[in-house]
Structure formats: structure tokens, C-alpha cells
Structure 1
Amino acid sequence: MVRGEDRHPSLSLHLRARQTAEYRASTAEAERQLRDNDPDARPHRLQHCRGLRESGCNRVLGIINLENFERENAYGESELRLLTTIAASLGTALENARLFDETQHLLKETEQRNAELAIINSVQAALAAELNIQGIYDAVGDKIREIFKNRDMGIRVYDPKTDLIHYAYTYENGKRLSLESEPLGNAGFAAHVLRTRETLVINENMTQAMTKYGSYALPGTQVEKSSVLVPMVAGEQARGIISLSDMEREHAFGDSDVRLLQTLANSMSVALENARLFDETQRLLKETEQRNAELAIINSVQAALAAELNIQGIYDAVGDKIREIFKNRDIGIRVCDPKTGLIHYPYTYENGKRLSLESQPLGQTGFTAHVLRTREALVINENMEQEVAKLGATLVPGSQMERSLIYVPLVAGDQARGLIGLMDMEREHAFSDSDVRLLQTLANSMSVAL
């Protein structure tokens, strides 16, 4: 309580935060408590004490005291009415301020819930669109950047089998970065967060913090001024990290930023773990399909041999099976005769029709010569004319130029005996990595069987 030290009256304002029964006392009781709580004060008379009440109810918010330490009967009815009016107005204003603060608090909670739902919906939408796991990281990362108004951020994923950290999504200085995977090791910010499963907030003295945790700047990146790293925990394991970074200033992140990022990480952890398991299931399913396709090729060759087919009959049986596996795409089987230096075309489909092509000298240039010489797959998904000029290829008489192709060598021992080709005559980027892997698997199985 403030006391006047001169001849002027003293005004004291006491606001009570708690709304308990003891604060609903009468004005007289409030005066008594004020005197009892200040036994060392010099003698004085509290002439007027008015409670601050919320307009329209009996809830006491606090007390206004008006005191005179020099004389009695210092205040009349006019002072009482004025003080009463001030107390009533101030009570209403304070209650409005409290309600505004409560509204802001509820609004902030609503924004966090909306952000959390946005993250969950992003993952679900990515799953519904049948995106791969990287597509899901991209969708979620974009949504988090949107929520945090395009702040720099990153998503790191930990693979415990290989002890590698993968940088699935990274923005620095507003630009998307592509970073190589790194061993996790025992030191550094990421290792600390994944090991403790606790959030790490660094808002100042970044260099000292890096020394403390044994951290270092990744190749191609710069050191932040502020950073928040939140673990993504699924079950009892930390599967990765979401981070916010500011490259220009310290103390860039407040408690509300940390809480929101933690909330998003908790929601994202479960959704991404489900997505990871789904992706793993799809991968295993794809492997199973490849094994089945491989067995189908081997069985085709064995069935042709059992039927005592000649070598052309075997090429036909195998070619038909490969077309079936690739849903009747255009394919070709080419076989090299090292004695004559000729390339034979025992099986060729183009535009859905079977072609009969004459044997041609292999030569030193062209796609076929390149694949047989290097014993490596050749994938061309765009700019076919440029690739033709680069490798010195020519059009086989009776055929047309492809827009996309995959050529995979048939290798037996140390020699490439031929190749299998997949072609698309109408569009670029017709073949994916999975098509290349499957054709390579079939070629390996076919080489031995043939």
C-alpha cells in the first residue's frame, strides 16, 4: 500500500486475482484487514474504502482506498460518490480486460488445434493420393512452413538399422536444400534430441551450444542464430526431428512457437509412422511382385525347354511373359553373336504389333553397343534425339524412334550376350525407377536360364 508523505491525500489500489470467499468481505472487513496487515504504520484514519465490483454482480475484484493522514472528516458525500463511480467503472474495465485476455487465450488454443488438424489432414491427403513417403514429407513440410509463415525448417528421419539421418525436407534462407544422409553418431544436436526424446531450444550463443553438444554445420549449410528441435516419437522410439531455424537473429522463438511445434510433432509422429509402415508394406509387396515375376520368367524358360522348343520358341515364351508382366508394353529382345558381330532381333513389339527385323552389324556406336560394352542399364526418359546424336545411334530399318526407353543387358559370366528393351513410342518419362529395377531383375534371371 502506498502512503502519502506530505499533506496530500493518498490513493491506494488493491486488485485481487483469486475469486475466493475471503475476497467477498464487506468494506469494513477490508479496512480492518488493511490495518492489521500493516502494524508498523503510523496512526491514521481510513476515511473511505470502496470495492471494485464487476458491473451487474457482487463479485469483488479489488479495493480502492482514499486516505488522509492529517485530519478527520476529510471527505464528504461528493468524494464518496466520485470514488464509487470510479470504482464501478474501473471494475467493469478490468473485467473486460480479463475477458479479452481469456478470449485471446482460447483463440490461441483454437489456432493450435487447427494447425494440428491441418498437419493430420496433410498426411491423410498425401496417403489418399498414394504419394510415396517422400511425397508425404514434402506435403507435411509445406504445411508446417505455411503455419509458421514460411520460416526455415527441416524434417530429419532416423533409420536405426543403418544409423543414418536422412534430411527429407530442408529449407534454409527461404530455399529448398538437398542434403546427403549422414551417420547419426553420438554427438550433435540431433543425437541429443533423439537420445533424450526431449525438445532442444537454442535462442542465443549458438557457437557455445555447438561446442557443448559436439555439433557442426552440415556441408552446404550455415550456422543458425536460433533453433528449435523437437523429436518425433512413435511408441518408445524417436523416429526423427522437426526443426525451426532463424539464420539472422537470436531469441527468434518464443514459448508459444515451441509449444505449437511440439503439438504438431506429436500429431505428425503417429501419422508419419503409419505412413512409413504403409510405405514399408508397399515396398515388401513390390519385392514380392518382383520375385513372382522372376519366378514366372524362370518357369517360362523351363516350360519351353520341357516342351523341347527351339531357341526361338524360348525367346517367344519369355517375351510374351515379360509383356504380360509389364501390361503389354512394347518390348524387344536382342541377342549378340560375337562370332559374326551381328545383332539378332528374335522378339520385337512396337506400337503393340509384332515386328520381324533383319539382323544388323553391331558396330562401335549406338545404344546397343553402349549397353553391351558397359554391361550397364541405359535409361532415356527425355530428349531422345540428343541422346541418339550423343551415342551415335541409328534407327533400325522398319522401326520408329522411341520417346522413352530402358535397355538392360543380359549378362552371362563376364559377357553381355544381349539385351532386353522396354519402349514407349508416345511419351517421355514413361518409365520409373521401379520399372528399371524390375526389368534388371528379370534380365538377371533370364540370362542364367537362357
Structure 2
Amino acid sequence: VYGLVFLPVLLTMMDIGLSTRLWYTGLDAGAYAGGYVPLSEYTAGSLGRLIRMLNFYGMPAVTIIPLLYIALRDKKATLLTRRLAWLLLGTQIAGMSIQMGLRGLLGPATRVLFMGIVFVLAYAYAAFQQMISERRLQRGRLQTRLTALILVITVPILVAVVAFVSTRAEALIEQAAIQQQEAELLGALRQFQLVSWAVLAIGVAMLLALAWLTIRQAFRPIGRLTETATAITAGDLTRTAPVESEDEIGGLARAFNSMTEQLRDLISSLEQRVAERTRDLSASEKRFRDIAESTADWIWEVDAAGRYTYCSESVANVLSYTPEEILGKTPFEFMPPDEAARVGEVFAQIAANKQPIVDLENRNLTKDGREVVLLTNGVPILDSEGKLLGYRGVDKNITERKLAEEEIERRGEELEALREISLAVTAQLELDEVLQSVVERGCRLLDVRAGSVYLVDEKRGDLELVISYGYTKDYTGTRLAPGEGIAGKVLQSGAPLAVDDYCHWEGRAPDWGAESLTAVLGVPLKRGGQVVGVLDFAEMAQARSFDEHDVWLATLFANQAAVAIENARLFEAEQRRLQMTSTLQEVARILSSTLDLENVLDTILEQLGRVVAYDSAAIFLLSDGILKVVAGRGFPDVEQVIGLTLSVEEEALFRQICREKRPLVLADAQKDERFLKAGGTNYVRGWIGAPLIAQGETIGILTVDNRQPNAYDEEIAQTVFLFASQAAMALENARLYETEAHRRQEAETLRLAAQALTATLDLQQVLESILTQLQQVVPYDSASVQILKGDHLEIIGGHGFPNLDELLGISFPVDGDNPNRR
């Protein structure tokens, strides 16, 4: 746009200097006939019409539309740019209005030159403001840039003025041509034009020189001020700027000198503060090094590549390396490979984000190969541009804390496992299942291969192995005396006992020689402070040592196991009681199903086997202080026992039972002098005697025999006593029934006998009827009828004798040799 505005001026200068005839054609009058150029052709160069059309039509099209867009729609334009756009737009509209208004007063050339001057001034101002805004004027020497700017503004104006004067002179000459000759007028015109252009050239040269000298003189203090600033920048704070005037430049010099003095004071103060700060930093560094060397934590610093650049002496306490052995290496070189890979990924992510290292746990290897756990904390080291230079931090040895945490976690897991095991064990109520579960779960808890459970035999006072697990054979039934083997010693002391090498332990039990036992641990099973059993845990064929923690854990488990075993025992006892109650009810039903004494006796001995295990048993019935064996089972010679009679008063055992009316238990009958070894009972060891009580009276005694000593206890004796009570009721009922039946039989026999006696008068028939009816009342093998004659008895009839005919008629004195008395 500025080029279009400046185009007429440029073409005018070309026409003057080069005779191009692009705009002015009247500059060379010799090219026309008579040396006279008509005024209409004076500005009718080859581009005259085009220039006028461009100025009138092209300028608006080129300038108005873009200027409107910049002023109204361009969001990227600055506020200054929009203001300049409105200025140029107003100038354009004003110029077009002026051209239209002066169309009748001024010629085309005059209007073009006038508009050129207006546009040159407006666009030169806009360009200058834009150059200042974009700091373009700061490139190059200032005085040269100002001189060029003055020339750009003034030269077009001067050229326009000369052209305008020449044009007006031409019009005057044309009017005077009527009165003067043409040659004279043309000569005067040429002379005037030459003088005008010469004045223009001299004016421009003088203007250029004056501008140059003025600007140079104005900018000389600024140059000196610049030299002073350069010297001060180089470090010479003694330089001052000369004050040569009282104008703005002088004020600037004084302000600059004041600033220099303040700068000297500030630098002096800064140097003093830097010195003090240096001393403080030295003291702080000393304190830091003292702390770094005295603390147990390892203080370090690494570069951006992760290599140690600083390392405190404490590293010797952490990794057993000297600082010299650490420097230049990376932390990953002191870690196991898997840990180095893990921590490397974490550190790479942290470093990429320039984040601090917060509580990063990592495993490291010491110089002697031990593994330690470090807790790393660090902060990034950044330069002024935020570039990562490295990290500075501290490593704390938390190995003991981690071991403690792991121990706490392990104990928590063990306690949780113990709780689950306890719940699982106590949920079972079958004693055998509980014992088996106790051993298996205990072995898993302590991570051993084998285990066993011993229970105290209260009758014998020793231990019996009831569950064997993990051994090469089943040791169930093995017995240990107090003090024998580990279990025996635990029973004796009531405290846990651990042996690391059982095979070479002097107190080992001989029954375990076939097992390659190494470490064995025994813990007591206690109930109410009393040892009721022992839990054994054993490792086989590999080294193992039970430490205090293992003993503690096994003891806790044993306490839970003891509760579970006791619960199972109580449940089993209750089950036995319920079963016994059911059995006794069934036995009572069976015993009451018959009233025949012989059947009742057999049923009692048969049903007794459902209540208690025995090798032999006998039923004694009491009559007039005499006990008689009426039934027996399991004896070597039952016939030898049946019918055996004993006097209650003469036998202490039976006397005590009858008097106290409660059962009596013998642990070993052969060792009790009160026991009667009759009827081949030398084999009897365990023995129970229970009274048969009916309607509050003892009617007999039930005895139960066993070949094993300590086979019976008070609990079993009470069970037998309950059974004996049911048996006594059945016996009493059978005896009552038998007595009643016997009485009925006797009455019937007497009735039949009386009927037979009155039915015939034949003596032999009467005698036969009497003996037959007697057989119904009193069973016999042989019987006779004797009649009293005086003081003699005579046999008159008989039955069952092989020589009855020889006996008939025999008589014998009543008081003499009488066979009835034999």
C-alpha cells in the first residue's frame, strides 16, 4: 500500500533523472516541434492514465477492504494496529473526498501530487509507529535510522512542492505567451526549472547534513553514557558518566551515576553478605558432615545417571563398604538382580517425573553377603532451568524392624492358623477324629513330618500312645512310664521338652529305634493344671531345631487341643451315658419279657455283655445269709461254679457289698486277699461286685470278671450297678412268679390227690395216685409210702426204685435203725 502511495513520487524522480517519460513528458521540450509542449500533455506520460486510475480506483480497493477487516474482524491484531488501521482508513476516505471536491479547481497532476503528499505523511507515520512497536528501530545505529526516517518523510514533500511550483509556472507562462515570444518564454521556463531542481538538490543535501550533525550532536552524550555502561558491565564500577547538559540527557547521566553508586554499595554489601554466608555455609557444611558422620543413617548423593557422587562414612555400618568403594557406582550394583530390576523401574519412573523418593524399601547385599533392607528417601536436585541433576537423600537400615514386622506378621498368621485349627478341632466331637485331627494339624502348623498323642492311663499311671501319624509303622498302644522318653519326662515335669538329636539322646525310648528321628518336641496336654496327655512332634531324616517360638506355638496349640480332647471325652461320655440308658431300657424290656427264672438268669448274663465287656460273670442269690451261685457264664468249668454256696458273714467282699448296698471294684483281684479263689477263678484280675437290690433289700450279687488288671473303674461299676438293679427287678419278679406258680401247683396237686383218694378204694391205686401227684408238687427221683404200725414203719408202696418188690413189706422201728434218718 505504501508503494502505491509513493509511486508518483518515484516516477517523478525517474522522469527527472532518467528522462523515462513515465509520468512527466514536458521535461524534454526539444522533442516537440518549436520546443513547445502543450500543458495537456505535460503530465501525459505512458503511465499517467494508469497512475491516476490506480490512485483513484486501485488505492481504495487495495486499502479500504483490508483496513476494514483489520479494524473490525482481525482478532490477532493488537490495539495499536487497530488504531493505525482506523487512521489510514480515515486518511483514504478523506483523500478520496478531497479529490472529488477539488476536481474542478485543480488539474489531475496537482490532485495526484496532493494526495501523494497526504498518503506519504499518513503511511510514514503508521510505518514509524509500527516499527517502534515491533522494535525494528533498535537494529543498527540510531542516528542513521533517524536520518533515513527524516529523508523518507521530507524528500517526497520537497519533490511534490517543486513539481507543483513548476506546474503553476507553466500555467503562468502559457498566459504570458500571448504578449511575449515563445522562445523567450521557453528559455525562462527551462531556467526556472533548473534553478528549482538545483535548489531542491542543495536543500536535500543541506537537510541531510544538518540532520546528521544535529542527531550526532544530540546522541554524543548517549554514546558516552553507553561507553560508561559497557565499562561498568565489564566490572569497572569506578567509571562515571559525564554530565554535559541540564536537559534530559544530563538527567539520564546523573541518574546513571546514582545508579552506579548504589550498585557499588549494593555489591559491597553483597560481598560482605556473601562472605558471611560463606562462613555460615562452611559452618553448616561442617555441621552437616558431623551429623552425616555421626548418624547411623547413610547420607548420599547421586548424579543424573544414578552414580554416587557423595557418600557418608555411615555406609560402613550399613553395607560394610567404605565410601571410596561406593563412589562412582549405582545403587543397583549392591542389590540382588531381581531387586535391582524392580527398584530400577520404580526409580526410572520417579526420576522421569522429577518426584521425590518417599519411603522406598529395597533389599541390598552387604560386603560379606548378608541381605539388609533399607528405607530410602531423597529429593531431586534441579538446575535453574528445571533440569534434573541428580538426587540427594538418606538410607535407613530397617532390617531389624522388617524382621520384627515379619515376625509379627508370621505370628499373626500362625495365630490365625491356630484359631482356624482350634475351630476345626473343637468342631469335632468324636474322640478318635479329634485326636487324629490334632496330630495332623499340629504337624502342619510346626512343619514337621510326624507326631503322636499320648493319653494318661489313670488306672495304671502311665502313658498310652493312642494316635500315631507320619511314622514308618503304627505305634498305637505303645506305653511309656513316667520319666521314660520325651513323653514320659513331659508327664513327669509338666513342662515342654525339645531334643535336637533324638537318636543320640540318652533318654530316648527303646521302642523308637527303627525311626530316624532327629528333632523331637513334647508338650503337655493339661486339664485344670493336671497333665492328661502329651503331644509329640518329630522331624525325620533331616536336621531341625525347635526354638522358643516353636515351643510357644506348640504349647498354645496343645492348650487348644486339650480343650478339644476334653470336649470330645465329655461328648463321648455323654454318648455312652445315653447309649447306656438306651441299653438299660432295652435290657429292662427284654428282662421283663419272661417270668421264667431260668430264662431270666440266662438273659441277664447275655444282656450284661451289652453293658460291659467281661470274661466271666456269675449271679448269686441270697437266702438266709447264704449266697448261692444260680447262674454263670464264661468260666472254665461252669458246672463247678453253679451251686457254689458262700456265707455272707464269712466272706468279707460279699459282706461289704451286702451291707453298703453299692458296687465294689478290684483293680487286681489276685492281689486282694479278700477275693475267694474258688471254682477255678485264678485267672480273674479285674473284678466288679454289684448288689442285686429289690424293694430295698439285697437279694443277691452280680459279679463281673476280667483277665486284665485295672480293666474296670468306678464309672463302669456304676453302669454295672444300674444294670444289676434292672436284673434284680427281673429276678424278683421271676421268683415271685415261680413261688406263686409253685403254690398253685401244690394246691392243684392236693386237690387232685384228694380227688384220687376218694375216687377208689383199691389200696394200690390210691398209693399210685398219691406218688404221681407228689411228683407234681415235689420233683423227685424216688419216693415211698410208709405206714406206721405200732412203733414200726412198713413200706407199703413206692415209685422210682429199681427193686421196689424187694422193698415192699419191709418194716423198721421209728426210733431205731431207720433209713429215713440216714
TM-score (norm 2): 0.28
| Structure with the largest fraction of strand | 1
Higher RCO structure, 1 or 2 (CA under 8 Å, sep 6+): 1
- Bigger fraction of residues in helix: 2
Q: TM-score, normalised by structure 1?
A: 0.48
